[in-house]
Amino acid sequence: MNVYFDDEHEMFRREYRRFVRQEITPIAAKVDAAGEFPLEVLRELGKMGYLCIQLPEQYGGSGADVMMLVIAAEEMAYASSGIDASLLVHSIIAVNPIFRFGSAKQREHYLPRAASGMSVGAIAMTEPDAGSDVASIRTSARRDGDSYVINGSKMFITNGTIADFVVVAARTGEPGYRGISLFIVDAGTPGFKVARRLDKLGWRASDTAELVFADCTVPADSLIGEEGRGFHYLMENLNLERIAMAADCLGLARAAIDQAKSYALGRRQFGQAIATFQDIRFMIVDMETRLRAAELLTYDAAWKLQMGEDCAMEASMARYVAGEMVNRVTGDAIQIHGGYGFMMESDVQRFYRDARVMTIGGGTSQIQKEVIARRLGLG
Ligand SMILES: Cc1cc2nc3c(=O)[nH]c(=O)nc-3n(C[C@H](O)[C@H](O)[C@H](O)COP(=O)(O)OP(=O)(O)OC[C@H]3O[C@@H](n4cnc5c(N)ncnc54)[C@H](O)[C@@H]3O)c2cc1C
């Protein structure tokens, strides 16, 4: 319990944690080794009412606030950051632009299905030549009567091979951010295909793909909101996305610290528990302190977002610090496990691999620092 979470939040944490520890923890290593997202988990979460919880009840959500979303990300990532990645994309990042800017028809069609787990969502911004610089995307959408014709390719798309619908950023106008629009493209639309499924170092429990659009024709009412407003719609979602990713880092780091502590207390060398060696105990002290610092930044940013305050700098700070922290903490957890930590049978090696993307995906550490620098008035 702390100032950021009330009784309702804590009750949600207890219930969600019970579900995650019972259903996800036992399969986490297996799905990582298989390199496949367990779709049945998403369906089950949908049945339990744990998907898209931020949506109002009329669309199948429960009107959850930002702090609830933080809790859900922390708890899921404690068991599997890879599974959490797919869930974040589905439940928040793909669905929110439809909820916030979509037409009534789009909301009614896509949101209840996504919240119940009947359909899976993805969001496709990144391209082979446009990552951090989203405004430079080249995928085009040309108006043709009552349709748009989409051409281009998208890279590193989470849920790419399993998605039933993809929110696609495409250029409808001038170069730069003002020419970008968002479209909903259903799987199976002629001209839309998965080019390849991508193999990854970490987050192996999530699905990642390259997508191709070749004269992919969608009805004009697949456009989300207004033409040319797509970049703005994406940016509107960014603070929540950064906070949810930071929360994922917190859960993953907590799992690594719990394992490191328990190992350090049980492992004996030179006739004593390695936790009694100053170098090891201070390493754990550093891990815990770094985690606490990242927690406070994340909770503070989440709280500001919940209060409707401008939190762009705080969200980037949380994302930056948490991403760097979880890399350090999971690396130290391996060090404390010695050779056992280097073996594929350990959990900490998975944590370490999963942590690596946390300074890259959804905006690199360098981009977070650029956002912070601008907010500090550095031009
Ligand atoms: C596992 C995974 C899942 C992903 N899921 C999705 C998804 O679902 N949908 C989606 O659209 N995208 C997704 N992405 C893409 C992700 O958001 C991008 O990888 C990320 O934004 C970085 O883009 P990039 O990889 O092209 O790197 P680049 O932008 O090419 O960057 C390369 C390097 O240059 C640095 N750099 C770039 N610009 C600057 C600058 N201005 N100042 C200083 N340094 C800079 C970067 O920090 C980085 O170190 C995913 C990526 C991964 C790895």
- CATH assignment of the domain containing 310: 1.20.140.10
Give the ligand 1 atom nearest the CA of 160.
8
Claim to verify: residue 243 and residue 222 sit in the same structural domain: no
The residue count for the chain: 379
Does 123 contact ligand 1 (Cβ within 6 A)?
yes
Please, what is the Cα angle at 207 between 50 and 126, to 5 degrees?
Answer: 105
* Ligand 1 midpoint to CA 150 (Å): 23
- Could you report the per-residue pLDDT of 342-352, keeping only the tens digit for each? 999 999 999 99
Give, using CA atoms, the residue closest to atom 27 of ligand 1. 131
Claim to verify: residue 252 and residue 357 sit in the same structural domain: yes
Does 22 contact ligand 1 (Cβ within 6 A)?
no
Claim to verify: residue 76 and residue 187 sit in the same structural domain: no
246 pLDDT higher than 70: yes
Claim to verify: residue 154 and residue 168 sit in the same structural domain: yes
* Ligand 1 midpoint to CA 311 (Å): 22
| Domain-located, residue 2 | no
- Could you report the per-residue pLDDT of 30-57, keeping only the tens digit for each? 999 999 999 999 999 999 999 999 999 9
| Domain-located, residue 112 | yes
| Domain-located, residue 1 | no
Claim to verify: residue 53 and residue 108 sit in the same structural domain: yes
Annotated catalytic residue: which of 75, 241, 295, 314?
A: 241
| Domain-located, residue 176 | yes
The verdict on pTM exceeding 0.85 is yes
Specify the number of domains making up the chain: 3
Give, using CA atoms, the residue closest to atom 24 of ligand 1. 131
For the question of residue 241 being annotated catalytic, the response is: yes
- With a pLDDT cut of 90, the percent of the chain lying above it is 99
Does 76 contact ligand 1 (Cβ within 6 A)?
no
Claim to verify: residue 136 and residue 66 sit in the same structural domain: no
- Could you report the per-residue pLDDT of 303-338, keeping only the tens digit for each? 999 999 999 999 999 999 999 999 999 999 999 999
Claim to verify: residue 197 and residue 246 sit in the same structural domain: no
pLDDT band, residue 1 (cuts 50/70/90) = low
Please, what is the Cα angle at 310 between 306 and 316, to 5 degrees?
Answer: 90
- CATH assignment of the domain containing 31: 1.10.540.10
- Could you report the per-residue pLDDT of 117-176, keeping only the tens digit for each? 999 999 999 999 999 999 999 999 999 999 999 999 999 999 999 999 999 999 999 999
- Could you report the per-residue pLDDT of 182-232, keeping only the tens digit for each? 999 999 999 999 999 999 999 999 999 999 999 999 999 999 999 999 999
CA distance 116 to 3: 32
* Ligand 1 midpoint to CA 361 (Å): 6
Domain boundary among 227, 246, 268: 227
- The predicted pLDDT at position 2 comes to 76
Claim to verify: residue 148 and residue 209 sit in the same structural domain: yes
Please give the residue range of the domain that contains residue 77: 7-120
| Domain-located, residue 30 | yes
| Domain-located, residue 222 | yes
Claim to verify: residue 222 and residue 239 sit in the same structural domain: no
Domain boundary among 192, 227, 262: 227
Claim to verify: residue 36 and residue 111 sit in the same structural domain: yes
Tally of CB atoms within 10 A around 266: 10
Claim to verify: residue 130 and residue 266 sit in the same structural domain: no
Closest CA to 76 of 41, 106, 30: 41
* Ligand 1 midpoint to CA 185 (Å): 23
Claim to verify: residue 11 and residue 90 sit in the same structural domain: yes
CA distance 115 to 69: 14
Give, using CA atoms, the residue closest to atom 16 of ligand 1. 361
| Domain-located, residue 259 | yes
What does the CA dihedral 236, 239, 241, 246 come to, rounded to 10 degrees?
180
- CATH assignment of the domain containing 142: 2.40.110.10
Does 93 contact ligand 1 (Cβ within 6 A)?
no
Domain boundary among 120, 151, 180: 120
SS3 170: strand
* Ligand 1 midpoint to CA 134 (Å): 9
